[in-house]
């Protein structure tokens, strides 16, 4: 009898364990990647040169993860440059040590050294990307991040037959670091790129580029998801496919209310997911991208192309070109951005801060400082609130965490010290532009509204701003000078688009809101690499919360030394 009872007890225990294991969700997976930073000879536009790559690939490998995964990416630096990698758009809650901007959250990985980026993907799904975050190395060091929803969670749009990652970039025939250094020595903008690229390839409109053309094969009647990333250093880009509409369903890894358009506008740092139906007569169609610039500033205005090719169509068929907006079509740009709205569904709500604890107003300006060795005796610099940011020699997060004095000042002004007609007649004065490593301190869990105002110092220009560690809501945008009473009354506080990188329109303003619930030091900068180098950047020091689980995590043991 005792043996029979023991048998039944054993069976019941096994049954209970099996039911228990099937009733609870599986633990999050651990995804591991090895990134070897290597030089590789690459040929484009009849020119061959060595470039910095990850694992010898250009663009670099795609990081595939699922919402809820833990990710460990070991980066080993085999090149002569110091380097760090930024995981653009990942919030890195309490874990700025894995964010990656050099001298902000870490010192760079020196030649011959390694560092493991260890982070969790929490509450995010969609398309993001990674790139080098030092010097101009992201010209060739970049790749996609694809975050799939949790198992069993469908997309809030029709399931595509297949997905494609589309990375838009720029190519220089010369060494991009030498190009940047030459411009810096002269005090002038460096030479613009020689081509734009789609997945690292410029397409057949460029010399020696027949084999350097990206092509995707599609089947008639099927729907495809394109994960589009603007990895260009300095250009906002239009993107379209001849004869086909694009249905926008996500930006910056946030689902949107779907809308259909013939072309999209995407700024450096931004991502956009679109659905494309292969519903046209089977043929070969050009995919095209070219710059948008509505200010009197020279850009690389050449068109990069790829091929949208229906199955069974021979490669000899001539592709059709799409009708992209004119290069200076600001009306299209403004209307396109107004169409972007958060999905704001029960599963994906738009939790817009309705009450604001801290109001910030930052003016964006270009200027000139004296430089006796430069071509014109001056050097171009850029500023926020007339402060041009100087990179420190010790990472700001390390200085904040360990209480190191003298690395930065916490007195970045909430408003410009000098008010003027920001978008009126062009001004050439510097207004006493200062330089320094100055940041803003933000109380934990406080709500922030930041208005970014373009100015006509030297010239007006569009500026895509990226905030590390956060998503924010774009509650308003307009042309001219911001007026709090007039423009604030028109804010969209119901379903504004949520993103991590936003364009400030040429001669206009953009207002964003976010809740400062991620403690640490978080970089904010223009994602035009040219402007970042000139000082168009700052950082927020978000204070720790009242409990240990609302405070910055301890640094990892292999954090690169300064």
Q: How many whole angstroms separate alpha carbon 214 and alpha carbon 284? A: 13
Q: What is the pLDDT of residues 83-124, one digit of tens each?
A: 999 999 999 999 999 999 999 999 999 999 999 999 999 999
pLDDT band at 432 (very low <50, low <70, confident <90, very high): confident
Which of the following CATH numbers is that of domain 30-148: 2.60.40.420, 3.40.50.2300, 1.10.357.10, 3.60.20.10? 2.60.40.420
Q: How many whole angstroms separate alpha carbon 486 and alpha carbon 507? A: 17
Count how many residues are written for the chain: 562
Q: CATH code for 162-339?
A: 2.60.40.420
469 pLDDT above the threshold of 50: yes
pLDDT band at 210 (very low <50, low <70, confident <90, very high): confident
Token pair 């030297």 in the structure block, residue: 458
Q: How many whole angstroms separate alpha carbon 389 and alpha carbon 535? A: 5
Angstrom CA distances, 434 to 66, 150, 451, stand at: 45, 48, 21
4 pLDDT above the threshold of 60: no
Topology agreement, domain 30-148 and domain 358-550: yes
Which pLDDT score is estimated for 376? 86
pLDDT band at 430 (very low <50, low <70, confident <90, very high): low
Q: Which of 526, 460, 505, 476 is nearest to 330 (CA)?
A: 505
Q: What is the pLDDT of residues 273-295, one digit of tens each?
A: 999 999 999 999 999 999 999 99
Q: How many whole angstroms separate alpha carbon 451 and alpha carbon 483? A: 10
400: phi then psi, degrees, rounded to nearest 5: -65, -45
Is the link from the previous residue into 8 a cis peptide, with omega within 30 of 0? no
Q: How many whole angstroms separate alpha carbon 490 and alpha carbon 176? A: 44
Q: What is the domain partition of the chain in residue ranges? A: 30-148, 162-339, 358-550
pLDDT band at 17 (very low <50, low <70, confident <90, very high): very low
Please report which helix (H) or strand (E) contains residue 22, including its range. Answer: helix 2-23
Burial label for 376, CB within 10 Å (0-12, 13-18, 19+), is: exposed
Q: How many whole angstroms separate alpha carbon 130 and alpha carbon 168? A: 13
22 pLDDT above the threshold of 80: no
Which of the following CATH numbers is that of domain 358-550: 2.60.40.420, 2.40.30.10, 2.40.10.170, 3.40.50.300? 2.60.40.420
């Amino acid at each position: 009898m005792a043996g029979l009872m023991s048998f039944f007890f054993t069976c019941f225990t096994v049954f209970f364990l099996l039911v228990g294991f099937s009733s609870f969700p599986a633990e999050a997976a651990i995804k591991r990647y090895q990134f070897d930073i290597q030089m590789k000879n690459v040929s484009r536009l009849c020119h061959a040169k060595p470039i910095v790559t990850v694992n010898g690939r250009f663009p670099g490998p795609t990081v595939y993860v699922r919402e809820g995964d833990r990710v460990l990416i070991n980066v080993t630096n085999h090149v002569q440059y110091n380097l760090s990698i930024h995981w653009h758009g990942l919030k890195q809650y309490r874990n700025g040590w894995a964010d990656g901007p050099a001298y902000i959250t870490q010192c760079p990985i020196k030649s011959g050294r390694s560092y493991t980026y260890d982070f969790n993907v929490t509450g995010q799904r969609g398309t993001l990307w990674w790139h080098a975050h030092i010097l101009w190395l992201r010209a060739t060091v970049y790749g996609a991040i694809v975050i799939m929803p949790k198992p069993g969670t469908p997309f809030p749009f029709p399931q595509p037959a297949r997905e494609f990652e589309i990375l838009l970039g720029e190519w220089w025939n010369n060494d991009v670091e030498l190009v940047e250094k030459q411009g810096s020595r002269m005090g002038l903008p460096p030479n613009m790129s020689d081509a734009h690229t789609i997945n690292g390839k410029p397409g057949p409109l460029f010399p020696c580029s027949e084999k350097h053309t990206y092509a995707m094969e599609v089947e008639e009647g099927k729907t495809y998801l394109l994960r589009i990333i603007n990895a260009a250093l300095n250009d906002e880009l239009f993107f379209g496919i001849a004869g086909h509409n694009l249905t926008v369903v996500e930006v910056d890894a946030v689902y949107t209310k779907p809308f259909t358009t013939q072309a999209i506008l995407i700024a450096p740092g931004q991502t956009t997911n679109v659905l494309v139906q292969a519903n046209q007569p089977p043929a070969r169609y050009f995919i095209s991208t070219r710059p948008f610039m509505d200010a009197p500033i020279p850009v690389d205005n050449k068109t990069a192309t790829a091929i949208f090719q229906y199955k069974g169509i021979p490669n000899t068929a001539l592709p059709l070109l799409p009708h992209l907006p004119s290069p200076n079509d600001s009306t299209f740009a403004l209307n396109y951005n107004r169409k972007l709205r958060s999905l704001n569904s029960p599963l994906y709500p738009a939790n817009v801060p309705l009450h604001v604890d801290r109001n910030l107003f930052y003016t964006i300006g270009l200027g000139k400082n004296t430089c006796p060795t430069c071509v014109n005796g001056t050097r171009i610099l850029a500023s926020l609130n007339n402060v041009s940011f100087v990179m420190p020699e010790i990472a700001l997060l390390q200085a904040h965490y360990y209480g190191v004095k003298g690395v930065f000042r916490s007195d970045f002004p909430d408003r410009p010290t000098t008010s003027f007609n920001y978008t009126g007649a062009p001004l050439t004065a510097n207004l006493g532009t200062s330089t320094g490593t100055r940041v803003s301190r933000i109380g934990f869990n406080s709500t922030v509204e930041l208005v970014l105002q373009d100015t006509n110092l030297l010239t007006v220009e569009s500026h895509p701003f990226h905030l590390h560690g956060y998503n924010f809501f774009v509650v308003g945008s307009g042309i001219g000078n911001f007026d709090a009473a007039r423009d604030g009354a028109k804010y969209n506080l119901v379903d504004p688009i949520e993103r991590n990188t936003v364009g400030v329109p040429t001669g206009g303003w953009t207002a964003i809101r976010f809740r400062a619930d991620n403690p640490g030091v978080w970089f904010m900068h223009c994602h035009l690499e040219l402007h970042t180098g000139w000082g168009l950047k700052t950082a927020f020091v978000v204070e720790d919360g009242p409990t240990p689980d609302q405070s910055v995590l301890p640094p990892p043991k292999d954090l690169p030394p300064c």
